[in-house]
Amino acid sequence: MLVRLFGIKPFGWVRLALLCILVGFFVMASEFDPASPNVNVMGAIGNFLNSAFLTLRWAAVNFWKPALAGAGIVMPIWLLWRLISLPFRR
């Protein structure tokens, strides 16, 4: 029964570790301290949701800047590559 319960492949362990790190990052970012005498789980969830909303808002407002900066470099190189490889394509 233990083999069936804990018998996952090595990549499964890597995914589990990455998930633990990701959740731990969000717990630390929300400044949740379970050892505090006045633990407020609902406050921590609200703080997390507020931070997530602000992050999504920032990404929506500022997404075009890195996309445009990257496109300014990638698109000319891509176009040049397409033009150079045109005679060799079928």
Alpha-carbon distances, residue 16 vs 2, 8, 9, 21 (angstroms): 18, 10, 11, 9
> 0.85 cut: is pTM over it?
no
Separation of alpha carbons 33 and 78, rounded Å: 49
Give the pLDDT score at 28: 79
pLDDT digits 0-9 by tens, 19-51: 988 888 877 777 767 777 777 778 878 888 998
Give the pLDDT score at 39: 76
Per-domain boundaries in the chain? 1-30, 41-90
Give the pLDDT score at 53: 93
3-class SS of residue 76: helix
Give the pLDDT score at 54: 93
